[in-house]
Amino acid sequence: MIACVDVDYRDAGAVAACVCFEQWDDSTPVLESAIEIRDVEPYEPSRFYRRELPCILAVLQTLPTLPQTVVIDGYVWLGEQRRGLGAHLYEALDKRAAIVGVAKTRFAGAEPVALVTRGQSRTPLYVTATGMDVAEAARHIRMMHGSHRIPTMLKRVDQLGRGYLRADSRGEADT
């Protein structure tokens, strides 16, 4: 199983969201989860992982099993031996799941990074990884469903976290 995770911050707390699917090119999730997090660490420049990591771990704990791969919105590595959110998540999961970071903006010094262009967009996504080769991670992101720059599953997890769509852990949408 593959999971895309995202966290949406609110005035008070956050919503952590997770969308799971079986194959990289799947168009619909097999499982969704969104949880409210009331206690969120304050933002600290260059220590963003302290705020985001507990939220991601909490939503991953709602899943029946740990996915083989977790896709995050952000970087795994911020530079040579400088860990980003993804590297911290990899360690927190005892290296039991590969972590793929997909960022929309360039972070100077983030290496190794693969640039992935999708659809008609000329603006790349910046892909980093641990537990998986960066080139392999880039191939997976390139083949994800959707004809636009942002793959369908990444767009879906963002929407779920923002509350545009509400779903319970069985993947059934509330109407």
pLDDT at 171: 45
Q: Check: pTM over 0.85? Answer yes or no.
A: yes
Domain ranges of the chain: 2-162
The alpha-helical segments, DSSP class H, found in the chain are: 49-60, 85-92, 134-143, 152-162
Task: Determine the CATH number of domain 2-162.
Answer: 3.30.2170.10
Q: pLDDT digits over 68-106, tens only?
A: 999 999 999 988 778 999 999 999 999 999 999 999 998
Distances (CA, A) of 136 to 74, 99, 116, 166: 17, 12, 12, 32
pLDDT at 49: 83
Q: What is the mean pLDDT of the chain?
A: 90
